């Protein structure tokens, strides 16, 4: 199997432990005044509606499971029931954890602090500093730093998991040590180079990822589904909704 299946479970295991320790603590310290943003005056209050559009590419990139399809095919073959369950339950689990994360984050960090996070490029370290300023110390600080770094690492490996298998298939690279080395270079050198050139480019990076996901994970699959249903009306597997759902 590939690099992600060996490395990611270990990283995720440690990350989950750190997540439980950190946000188990933050959960009981949520300030509902901060969570509901009722501590601001009407003069200083601004609408948060424009930020919805900033969040869309993040959500699309975070919940776009299409990139992992090549790796899931390797794991499960053509067992569509396994594939569907993996995608559905995996997405629901990620959504639950994400909502819990938002609850703890928005209930502990004031909205004014997010202006500083955004102005510093939206990097993870800025978010961690804001958390560390909310009366935490000792073990919680250490676990928060461990969690934040492993969250980035596991996301990196998770995203590149499908890309690794896709590039290996695209360029006909075998599973030999030399073939895997070539695939690793194709997978990791471009993002590593961009990171070294733009170390504070997280917001721009996630925006670009969201744009690509809009094209490759939303528009193109829908067009392919419409084409396939016309060309292969009696195919073995189709998603419910007929022609209407892909058209939307």
- Asked if the model's pLDDT at residue 73 lies above 70, the reply is yes
The CB density around residue 2, as the number of other CB atoms within 10 Å, is 21
Q: Which of 8-22, 138-152, 231-245 has the lowest mean pLDDT?
A: 231-245
User: CA 75, CA 79: separation in Å to the nearest integer?
Assistant: 10
Structurally, the chain folds into a number of domains equal to 1
Percent of the chain clearing pLDDT 90 (strictly above)? 2
Give me the phi and psi of 4, to 5 degrees please.
-65, -35
Q: What is the mean pLDDT of the chain?
A: 76
For residue 8, what pLDDT is reported?
60
Furthest-apart CA atoms within the chain: distance in Å: 64
Banded pLDDT at 160 (limits 50, 70, 90): confident
Q: Which of 10-14, 185-189, 239-243 has the lowest mean pLDDT?
A: 239-243
- Asked if the model's pLDDT at residue 120 lies above 60, the reply is yes
190 vs 207: which has the higher pLDDT: 190
User: CA 86, CA 185: separation in Å to the nearest integer?
Assistant: 28
The CB density around residue 165, as the number of other CB atoms within 10 Å, is 23
User: How large is the average pLDDT for residues 87-108?
Assistant: 86
User: CA 126, CA 118: separation in Å to the nearest integer?
Assistant: 9
- Asked if the model's pLDDT at residue 106 lies above 60, the reply is yes
Distances in Å between the Cα of 101 and the Cα atoms of 95, 96, 104, 181, 223 are 10, 9, 5, 36, 34
Question: 7 lies in which domain range?
Answer: 3-247
For residue 182, what pLDDT is reported?
92
Chain centroid, CA 238 distance in Å:
27
For residue 223, what pLDDT is reported?
83
- Asked if the model's pLDDT at residue 154 lies above 80, the reply is no
Instruction: Read off the pLDDT of residues 51-60 as tens digits, 9 standing for 90 and up.
Output: 777 777 777 7
User: How large is the average pLDDT for residues 121-134?
Assistant: 69
- Asked if the model's pLDDT at residue 80 lies above 50, the reply is yes
For residue 42, what pLDDT is reported?
45
């Amino acid at each position: 199997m590939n690099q992600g299946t060996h490395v990611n479970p270990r990283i995720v295991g440690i990350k989950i432990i750190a997540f439980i320790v950190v946000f188990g603590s933050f959960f009981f310290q949520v300030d509902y005044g901060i969570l509901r943003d009722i501590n601001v005056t009407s003069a200083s209050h601004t609408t948060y509606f424009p930020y919805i559009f900033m969040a869309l590419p993040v959500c699309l990139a975070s919940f776009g499971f299409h990139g992992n399809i090549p790796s899931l095919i390797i794991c499960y073959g053509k067992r569509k029931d396994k594939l569907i369950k993996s995608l559905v339950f995996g997405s629901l689990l990620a959504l639950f954890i994400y909502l819990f994360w938002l609850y703890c984050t928005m209930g502990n960090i004031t909205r004014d602090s997010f202006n500083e996070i955004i102005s510093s490029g939206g990097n993870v370290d800025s978010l961690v500093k804001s958390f560390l300023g909310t009366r935490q110390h000792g073990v919680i600080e250490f676990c928060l730093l461990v969690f934040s770094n492993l969250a980035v690492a596991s996301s990196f490996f998770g995203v590149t998991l499908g890309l690794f298998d896709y590039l290996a298939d695209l360029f006909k690279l075998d599973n030999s040590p030399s073939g895997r080395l070539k695939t690793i270079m194709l997978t990791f050198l471009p993002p590593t180079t961009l990171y070294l050139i733009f170390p504070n480019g997280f917001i721009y990076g996630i925006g670009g990822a969201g744009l690509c996901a809009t094209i490759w994970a939303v528009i193109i699959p829908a067009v392919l589904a419409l084409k396939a249903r016309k060309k292969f009306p009696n195919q073995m597997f189709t998603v419910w909704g007929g022609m209407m759902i892909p058209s939307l």
